[in-house]
Chains A and B, each alone.
Chain A
């Protein structure tokens, strides 16, 4: 199975900060990497698919990059509504595994 490891597990940031979350795959997955945002009590929401493609309706302050085993989600200027938990997911394998999540909290 392909394991996905996110870092950090949590971070504290202020409104306006640039935030970067990383995701590493245990083996190469080309660009089969998606990012989701989840707020408490809500279902996950797709932000980025295929490593760098922005889902329709998602603000342009969100961006994704990377390929093979190392990927990054960047929020260019953190907004109050962005405080949430973020998950990466690989879909190259038939077993579509998620990372453990990164919680973005208010500093």
Chain B
């Protein structure tokens, strides 16, 4: 079955750290860029970070740059998000998403999402 399964969420104090994982199955993980997207409960989607298929290139939203690190282990078909110096405003459901590049015009889109893992930053 083609799926993404996030894990690692939980309750953490402000200033703390957490590492999220996203296990991929049913497709050739090494062929695809991946992203993390978060959603504050009851609010909209916020793109957080992306990583190229090889892992050699990474991108971050300004809101997490310098605090979060995206990485991947293609031998384990797993995507990670290391989150440090966590703040209350980082509280959200975190989704991982598979990024596809259209063959016709190289346009990118997210065609597969996980169910999400909830991160709560609170004392």
A38: B residues at CB distance < 8 A: 45
Within 8 A of B (CB), among A24-55: 31-32, 34, 36, 38, 43-46, 49-50, 53, 55
Q: Is the CB of A49 within 8 A of B59?
A: no
B50: A residues at CB distance < 8 A: 94, 96
Chain A at the B interface: mostly helix, strand, loop or mixed? loop
A99: B residues at CB distance < 8 A: 44
Q: Is the CB of A46 within 8 A of B110?
A: yes
The A/B interface has a contact count, at CB < 8 Å, of: 64
A55: B residues at CB distance < 8 A: 111
Which of B44, B107, B111 touches A100 (beta carbons < 8 Å)?
B44
Q: Is B2 in the interface zone, CB < 8 Å from A?
A: no
Which of A1, A36, A43, A89 touches B116 (beta carbons < 8 Å)?
A43
**Known: A31-B107, A43-B113, A91-B109. Contact between A98 and B47, CB under 8 A?**
yes
Which of A32, A45, A101 touches B108 (beta carbons < 8 Å)?
A32
Which of B61, B108, B115, B116 touches A95 (beta carbons < 8 Å)?
B61
Q: Is A71 in the interface zone, CB < 8 Å from B?
A: no
Q: A55 to B47, alpha carbons, bound, how many Å? A: 21
Within 8 A of A (CB), among B1-41: 35, 37
- In the complex, residue of chain B having the shortest beta-carbon distance to the beta carbon of A49: B109
Q: List 22 A-B contacts (CB under 8 A).
A: A36-B45, A44-B45, A44-B110, A46-B109, A49-B109, A49-B111, A50-B104, A53-B102, A55-B111, A89-B109, A89-B110, A91-B109, A94-B50, A95-B47, A96-B50, A97-B47, A98-B37, A98-B45, A98-B47, A99-B44, A101-B44, A101-B45
Known: A32-B108, A50-B109, A97-B47. 7 other contacts (CB 8 A): A1-B62, A34-B109, A46-B109, A49-B102, A49-B111, A95-B62, A98-B44
